[in-house]
Amino acid sequence: MEVKYFLTADYANQTPEGKLNVLGIFDRIYSNSFPTIHPFLYVVGQLSANAAERGRKFTIQIKLLNEDGIEILGLGLEGEFPQDHHDPVADFAFGIALANIVFEKPGDYQFSLLVDNDEKETHRLQVLTATSQ
């Protein structure tokens, strides 16, 4: 299994044909005061399977950690790679909406992507004071 991408964005959706539309990719949030609440973001990713993994079911966990390594948000979902052997691509894409995330202080935060409890990828998210732009 390979992680094609793992990121944060302002918006994402998936078409009936399986295309993933992503708008406003970012890795920094600015605020004038702390604690601050970020109203809305998407965590977006795509996993790609090899031939032996077709039809495989798996569990995805996404965790948001502060710079001290403390989990401030966690969620999970179930996934399955397609079994169609005629399609050369076996991908699983996701876009998960998160609302009203509280960031207690500026610093380096990290989204972690785990598949079946194995960390596959991380995405750094910096939270900065607005004057440091």
Q: Where are the domains of the chain?
A: 2-132
- CATH class name, domain 2-132: mainly beta
pTM, 2 dp = 0.90
pLDDT at 51: 80
pLDDT at 54: 86
Q: Which residues of the chain have pLDDT under 70?
A: 85-88, 132-133
What HEC string does the chain produce? CEEEEEEEEEEEEECCCCCEEEEEEECEEEECCCCEEEEEEEEEEEEECCHHHCCCEEEEEEEEECCCCCEEEEEEEEEECCCCCCCCCCEEEEEEEEEEEEECCCEEEEEEEEECCEEEEEEEEEEEEHHHC
Predicted pLDDT of residue 55: 87
What's the confidence (pLDDT) of residue 18?
80
| Residue of 81, 76, 80, 82 lying closest to 117 (CA atoms) | 76
Please report the pLDDT score of residue 46 as a whole number. Answer: 95
The number of CA neighbours under 13 Å toward the Cβ of 116 is 7
